[in-house]
Amino acid sequence: MILVSKYTAIRQQVNSYLLKQLSIYTNKNKLLPFARSEVWVRKSKETCKVLYISEVAFKAAKVYGISASVIASQLVSHFCDCNENFMLKAVAGLIYIEVSPNAIAGCLQSVVEQHRFLALPHSPTPILPDSDTPLFLIQYAHARCCSLLRLARHEGLISFDQSLQVSWLDSQGKFRFNSHESQRLIATSVEIIDDLVCTDVLSPIYWHSKALNLTMAFICFWRHTRIWGEVKKQPELVQAYIGLIVVTQEILRFLLEEKLNSAACFEI
């Protein structure tokens, strides 16, 4: 099962647009085209922001004999006029690409729309690892997500009979939540979606680390967010919180079952 398509993963979108702009740049300046494999971006180390960095200008500089700073500035100048989902800036030859809330929301919603609420029954608990192991913590986080979704259904906030349409953004195009914890959970989720689409890593150790990162981000979010406290005052905010829980549950389920060969427990 594919969690998201290559057209949904944000890193793939950034790579495609950057390749397009580099192609325009090379054609305009009558330069040899750049290979697709050379145009790649990496996620920044910022934990609460969906930000990518490209070093393609340095690679191009070696090939074309032009300053990396000049190439980066020209690419950014043209790129900024072509796509409102990405905000670029050139710094010392590096290209920083920050992703708009609208593009991030589209990625999250694509995961939500694949979610099947009917697959959240009360089920017998399988044999689990020791409670002090990282794998148990991941399974616990997944089960906690399921529990919160059942509670949301009980409160009449969602229906298990139809897909959830989340209003992620407010009237100004910003996320309805802006806490450190929610932004960390979003950034971690997007990073894993990127990895599932853009990497061919098979090692369970790698995916275990990714699942644990998402687990810790979710636990931090859950502990510091009054999910039900805003039901009457801001119902759309609560719906967005629920959407984020759905995304977390779906990614953890996929990682547990497809990458770690483990049970994705509905309850513990």
Provide the whole-model pTM: 0.87
Tell me how far apart the alpha carbons of residues 227 and 75 are, in angstroms, rounded to a whole number.
42
Decide if 111 contacts 3 (C-beta within 8 A). Answer: yes
Quick: pLDDT tens for 3-33: 666 567 899 888 888 888 778 777 777 766 6
Secondary structure element (H or E) that encloses residue 192, with its range: helix 180-198
Domains of the chain by range and CATH? Answer: 10-99 (3.30.1360.70), 104-259 (1.10.730)
What is the chain's pLDDT, residue by residue, as a tens digit (268 residues)?
Answer: 556 665 678 998 888 888 887 787 777 777 666 666 666 788 898 888 899 999 888 888 887 788 999 888 888 887 665 667 888 899 999 999 999 999 999 999 999 988 776 555 555 555 555 555 788 999 999 999 999 999 888 888 777 777 788 999 999 999 998 899 999 999 999 999 999 988 888 888 999 999 999 999 999 999 888 877 765 678 888 899 999 999 999 999 999 999 999 888 887 7
Instruction: Please give the order of strands across the beta sheet that includes 41-43.
Output: 41-43, 51-54, 94-99, 86-91
